[in-house]
Amino acid sequence: MKIGNCYKFIWIIAINLLLGFSFVGGISAQNLEATENKSPKISIHAPIDPNEPPAGGKPISDEKPNTALIHYNLGMEHLKRHQYDEAINDFDQAVSIDPTVAAAYNNRGLARFAQGDYVDAISDYDQAIKLDPTKAYSYKDRGLAHYYQREYKTASEDYGKAISIDNKDDLAYINRGLVRFKMGNNKGAIEDCDKALALSPKNAQALSIRAEARSQLPETKESIKD
């Protein structure tokens, strides 16, 4: 797959193992294959067990735990079913009861992102990160939204923050590598793909991005001329 077709190669955000998924917060990109003409799919990671508080630092408010949790869990179910308006409404209700739950903001951001509302999605990710800056997935999610806004420098910075939290995530390196390629930073793209391949040696996306970035290096172009 050629990176010249970049928008066929940026984060399909797959719905992996939708039934029986382990929910722990945020979007997780599985490969880079969303197109501009297709609504990106999402993976949802946040707890739905009533006995497990959402990711974000602390349990849902003790004041009205059942009401907040009901809205939160309904939002999760609607999100899984791609019912984004309903999911947003439920997360609205959850954060109105307990505005301290980072996962509710993050998952509302996912719903808004899926609707193409990247500005409000970024606002939700901002709030999630403000409440809990320790989750790599929130930075990756925000980085993806910035990518769709063509804000490549900011997207690259978000992926860098995600990597600083979890440097074993090959997908974060791949996505930052693609952003760097878009910015014309071919050496940086190659470095990121090298790191991704050290973690996942046969990753086709990393191999393709690296090959395309290498083909753009001046020395490579000169060797082709020769």
Residue 2 has pLDDT above 60, yes or no: no
Residue 16: pLDDT band by 50, 70, 90 thresholds? Answer: very low
Instruction: Determine phi and psi for 153, rounding to 5 degrees.
Output: -65, -45
- The yes/no answer on whether domain 48-134 falls in CATH 1.25.40.10 is yes
Please state whether the predicted TM-score (pTM) of the whole model is above 0.75.
Answer: no
Specify the residue for token string 């769709």: 148
CA pair distance 221, 215, nearest whole angstrom: 7
What pLDDT shows up at residue 153? Answer: 96
Query: Where are the chain's structural domains?
Result: 48-134
132 pLDDT more than 70: yes
Contact assessment for residue 129 and residue 118, using Cβ atoms and an 8 Å cutoff:
no
Is the torsion defined by CA of 59, 61, 63, 64 positive or negative?
Answer: negative
For residues 213-223, average pLDDT: 76
pLDDT of residue 1: 42
The whole-number pLDDT of residue 68 equals 79
Contact (Cβ atoms closer than 8 angstroms) between residue 69 and residue 48: no
